[in-house]
Amino acid sequence: MPHPLLPQGEGRRPATTYSFNTLLARIEEIATNMARLEKKVETMSLPHSSNLMAHTVAKPSALPPRPTPLYSEMAAGAPNPSAARTLPPVPPSSYINRFKLGQVVIRKKFDQPVPFEGLTAATICQKINDALVFAKAAIDGDPIKVRAVAQFPNGDVKIFTKDRRAAKWLLDNKHLWTQKADPVFVTSQVAHPVLLHSCPTSFDVNNKEHVELLCKQNDIDPKEIQKIRWLLSPKGRRLALDIERAGLCYNSLHLKGQHYLQGPKQCYNCLAVGHLAHSCKEKPLCSRCGAGHNSASCEEMEDSSRSCQRCLQVDRKTSPAIDLSDPKYDHSSFSSACPIRTKEIEKLSKEKIPTTRQ
């Protein structure tokens, strides 16, 4: 039955109003709780923030030191002297080498007298420069000149030039100017030996026609061949590399090329293995007579004892009486039958083998 004081259709309005008011009250309660929670969070985070600030301020030494401004920056009025300065890029090695002096050592033969003996460095420079003018030494039209020299006690000459290209020219063409600078300073031309396999025995190295035929069939200028002694020795390195890679042809035969590797170095002064006579610092030992002089200056044309002087020298230190007829001495100091030479070669071979890291 409808309410007598309210019109029809408005009976449910008080319930709707009550629900809306209840919802507003709950929202206000939630907002109050949120505000209370925010205050609590702020209260809990404030001590941590203050401690963090105190910790940061308490250690100023942890900061990197400010770089001292340069005088050039202060004079130029740099806006920020403490800013990081960028270094210029490193130039390439080819550019750096342009400003380096070229150095080369011209070695004399061990049996030659000392060149430029008794002359000052200035006089030696003048003589070498005069010889270079005579030899027309130049690179790209620029004449090569020697700037300084230094002479070693054994007679070798160290030369300083404008750059490395000039030093290389002096070494490759030393046979053109050394004797002109000093008549006793005779040097040989740089060779690049090449070994040819399966060459017919009918080829005569002293026959000019055979050599010209070999060069003609392989488009080689005969002037490029310095010497043929069953070991082809081209003057140029490029020609030697071409022969090593492709070989040569002779009378419809293909001859395989290979780089010629010389045997171990052995000194003609002290007879030891591992160095040459021009750099030897030991006492001389004659391979012919066993005396204390170089073998090249020995007056004996043949070996007087025909025995290994190195083996004799070692045994004479332990026993004064030596039997020269003993077969163990019947070999040359340069022979592979010499036990001392064999031990020295084995020692050099072990030193050349790189040790592997554990």
User: Which CATH architecture does the domain made up of 99-181 adopt?
Assistant: 2-Layer Sandwich (3.30)
Beta bridge partners of 150: 158
- Model pTM score: 0.41
Encode pLDDT of 161-196 as tens digits: 988 889 989 998 898 899 999 999 988 777 777 767
At residue 49, the pLDDT reads 47
Percent of the chain with pLDDT over 70: 72
At residue 30, the pLDDT reads 87
At residue 255, the pLDDT reads 75
Q: How far is CA 180 from the centre of its chain?
A: 33
CB-based contact 204:135 (threshold 8 Å):
no
Task: Give the mean model confidence (pLDDT) for residues 148-155.
Answer: 89
**Domain extent listing, the chain:** 99-181, 194-259, 277-351
Going across the sheet that includes 102-106, the strands are: 102-106, 157-161, 146-151
CB-based contact 155:124 (threshold 8 Å):
no
d(CA 215, CA 240): 13
Q: Is the pLDDT of residue 209 over 80?
A: yes
At residue 182, the pLDDT reads 93
Q: How far is CA 308 from the centre of its chain?
A: 39
Task: Give the mean model confidence (pLDDT) for residues 210-222.
Answer: 84
